[in-house]
C-alpha cells in the first residue's frame, strides 16, 4: 500500500467549526481599546529530561498568541511570561531569543524551583521572577495561556485567576495539559485545522537583514533584491532536533538538485548534534547519495567565531560543488522567519514552526506519524481546496506533497540510500512555478478561513466584560 492509500484510509472526519459568515466583529473591541487594560500571555516549556522532548515550540506558541493580542488591542499593556526547564545556559539563551519582543517586557520563571527538580549550583539557573509574575497576574484584566501545562503561579493557585484565564491546547488534540476537575477551574479550548484555528498571524520582519553573520554571508535574503549570493547558492532550511532528519534532508536535497552547478546551503537546528557529522554512518550516507566533492560544516567556538570543517571528501565527485551545513549558535525570531521565507523547502517539526511556514505562503514538510491528527486535518484541507472550482489543476500536487512528506517518515539507512525515478520527478516538481502558485493560493485560502483572531477577540472580551 502506498503512502497515499495509507493516508486516505485514515477515514478522516473533521469536527464542526464556526461558520465564517456568522462571525461578527465584536463592537466591544473599540471600547476595550480605550481602557487601560493589562493582558498577560503565559506559556510553559514542556517538562522533559531531553532537549528533543522539551523543545521550544510551546514557548513560541505564546509569542504567536501575543502577536494576535497586540494587533487586536494596540493600546493595551501586554506582558509575556515563560517558564522553562532548560538544562544549559545555551538552551535558556535560545528561549530568550525567541521571547525577545519589541516593546514587550518578558518575565522568566525557572520551572525547576517549584517542581521539585534538583537545581545545579549555577548562577544562570537562579533567574526566577516569581514575585513579579504574581503581581502581574493579580493586576491583569485577562490571562491567555499556551499549551503544555500551567506556569507555577497558576498551577499552585487556588482558583483565584480562573475567571480571567483562557488556556489553549496543541493543534488537533483534545488536551492542553489542563486539569479539567481541579481547583483551578481554567477553561481550555481546542486549536488546530479541524477547528479552523491555527496561528497564521501576519509575518513582521523587524530586521531586514540576517543578524547572524554566516546566514548573511551564505543565505539568500528573501526580502531584499539584488543579493550577490543569489547566483552562488541554493538555500534550504531544516528545523528539527534529530540527526536522522538532517540526513534525510541532505538526501532529499540531492534528489531535488540533481546535477545543478550551484552550491547548496542547508541551515539546521541540529547544533547539539554536530559531533554526529564526524561519524562513519553519516559519511557513508553522503558517499552513496551525494554527487559532490566536499561537504563543509560550520560550528562556533568559544569566541563566537565560525570554524570550517571538511567532513567529507569524494574524489569521484562530479563537480567542484559544496554543501554548507550551517548550525547557528542562536537563532533570533527574525532570522528564523527569514530562513523559512527564503528556503526552497521547509521541513518543520511542530505546531508553531509549521504554522510559520504556512503564514509565509508556503507548504511545510513534516513527519506523518509525529503529528498524526494534524496531518489528517492538513491533508483533508488540501483535498477540499483542490476540489473547489478552478483548483482542479492542482490535484496532482496532493501526491507530490505526500511523496515529499513520506521521505521524512522512512526509516532505515537502506531506505535513505535508495532513489527512484518517480520519487525524483515528484520532488523536483517542488521547484516549479506551478508548485509555488499552488502554495500561495492554498495558504491564502487557509488564511481567509482561519478564525484564530475572532476566537481570541471573543474570549478576551467576554472575560474583560465579565470582570470589569
Does domain 213-448 fall under CATH 1.10.510? My reply is no
DSSP alpha helix (H) spans, 140-259: 152-155, 213-218, 243-257
Q: Highest mean pLDDT: which of 50-64, 71-85, 226-240, 328-342?
A: 71-85
* pLDDT, position 125: 58
3-state DSSP helix/strand/coil % of the chain, to nearest 5: 45, 15, 40
| Cα→Cα distances 213→223, 300, 306, Å | 17, 11, 9
pLDDT-derived band at 295, boundaries 50, 70, 90:
confident
| Collapsed DSSP state (helix, strand, coil) of residue 265 | strand
295-322 average pLDDT score: 75
Strand pairing category for 263-268 and 187-191: unpaired
* pLDDT, position 18: 41
Please tell me the least confidently modeled range out of 286-290, 392-396, 432-436: 286-290
With beta carbons less than 8 A apart as the criterion, state whether 39 and 73 touch.
Answer: yes
* pLDDT, position 179: 59
Which residues sit opposite 109 in a β-bridge? 83
**For 357-399, what is each residue's pLDDT tens digit?**
999 999 888 767 667 888 888 889 999 999 999 999 998 888 8
Distance CA 120, CA 179 (A): 30
* pLDDT, position 19: 38
With beta carbons less than 8 A apart as the criterion, state whether 99 and 67 touch.
Answer: no
**Fold agreement between 17-198+450-467 and 213-448:** yes
**What CATH code is assigned to 17-198+450-467?**
3.40.50
The domain segmentation of the chain, as residue ranges, is 17-198+450-467, 213-448
Closest by CA to 193, choosing from 407, 389, 366, is 366
pTM for this prediction:
0.80
Higher pLDDT, 456 or 159: 456
Amino acid at each position: 500500500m502506498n503512502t497515499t492509500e495509507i493516508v486516505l484510509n485514515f477515514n478522516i472526519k473533521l469536527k464542526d467549526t464556526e461558520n465564517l459568515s456568522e462571525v461578527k466583529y465584536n463592537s466591544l473591541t473599540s471600547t476595550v481599546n480605550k481602557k487601560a487594560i493589562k493582558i498577560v500571555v503565559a506559556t510553559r516549556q514542556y517538562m522533559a529530561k531531553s532537549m528533543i522532548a522539551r523543545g521550544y515550540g510551546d514557548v513560541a506558541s505564546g509569542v504567536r498568541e501575543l502577536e494576535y493580542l497586540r494587533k487586536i488591542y494596540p493600546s493595551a499593556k501586554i506582558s509575556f511570561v515563560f517558564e522553562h526547564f532548560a538544562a544549559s545556559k545555551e538552551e535558556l539563551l535560545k528561549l530568550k531569543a525567541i521571547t525577545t519582543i519589541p516593546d514587550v517586557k518578558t518575565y522568566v520563571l525557572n520551572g525547576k524551583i517549584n517542581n521539585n527538580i534538583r537545581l545545579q549550583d549555577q548562577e544562570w539557573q537562579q533567574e526566577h521572577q516569581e514575585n513579579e509574575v504574581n503581581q502581574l497576574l493579580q493586576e491583569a484584566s485577562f490571562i491567555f495561556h499556551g499549551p503544555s501545562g500551567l506556569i507555577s503561579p497558576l498551577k499552585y493557585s487556588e482558583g483565584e485567576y480562573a475567571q480571567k484565564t483562557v488556556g489553549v491546547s496543541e493543534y488537533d488534540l483534545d488536551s492542553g495539559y489542563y486539569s479539567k476537575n481541579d481547583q483551578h477551574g481554567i477553561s481550555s479550548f481546542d486549536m488546530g485545522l479541524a477547528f479552523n484555528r491555527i496561528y497564521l498571524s501576519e509575518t513582521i520582519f523587524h530586521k531586514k537583514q540576517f543578524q547572524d553573520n554566516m546566514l548573511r554571508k551564505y543565505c539568500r535574503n528573501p526580502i531584499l533584491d539584488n543579493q550577490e549570493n543569489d547566483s552562488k547558492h541554493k538555500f534550504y532550511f531544516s528545523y528539527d532536533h534529530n540527526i536522522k532528519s538532517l540526513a534525510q534532508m541532505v538526501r532529499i536535497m540531492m534528489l531535488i538538485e540533481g546535477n545543478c552547478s550551484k552550491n547548496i546551503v542547508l541551515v539546521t537546528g541540529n547544533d547539539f548534534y554536530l559531533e554526529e557529522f564526524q561519524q562513519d554512518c553519516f559519511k557513508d550516507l553522503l558517499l552513496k547519495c551525494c554527487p559532490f566533492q566536499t561537504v563543509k560544516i560550520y560550528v562556533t567556538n568559544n569566541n563566537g567565531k565560525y570554524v570550517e570543517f571538511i567532513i567529507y571528501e569524494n574524489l569521484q565527485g562530479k563537480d567542484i560543488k559544496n554543501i554548507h551545513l550551517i548550525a547557528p549558535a542562536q537563532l533570533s525570531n527574525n532570522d528564523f522567519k527569514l530562513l523559512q521565507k527564503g528556503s526552497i523547502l521547509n521541513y518543520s517539526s511542530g505546531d508553531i514552526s509549521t504554522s510559520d511556514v504556512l503564514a509565509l505562503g508556503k507548504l511545510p514538510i513534516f513527519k506523518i506519524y509525529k503529528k498524526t491528527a494534524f496531518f489528517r486535518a492538513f491533508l483533508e484541507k488540501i483535498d477540499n481546496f483542490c476540489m473547489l472550482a478552478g483548483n482542479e489543476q492542482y490535484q496532482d500536487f496532493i501526491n507530490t506533497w505526500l511523496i515529499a512528506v513520506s521521505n521524512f517518515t522512512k526509516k532505515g539507512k537502506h531506505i535513505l540510500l535508495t532513489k527512484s525515478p518517480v520519487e525524483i520527478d515528484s520532488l523536483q516538481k517542488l521547484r516549479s512555478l506551478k508548485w509555488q502558485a499552488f502554495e500561495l493560493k492554498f495558504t491564502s485560502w487557509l488564511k481567509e478561513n482561519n478564525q484564530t483572531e475572532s476566537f481570541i477577540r471573543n474570549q478576551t472580551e467576554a472575560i474583560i466584560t465579565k470582570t470589569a
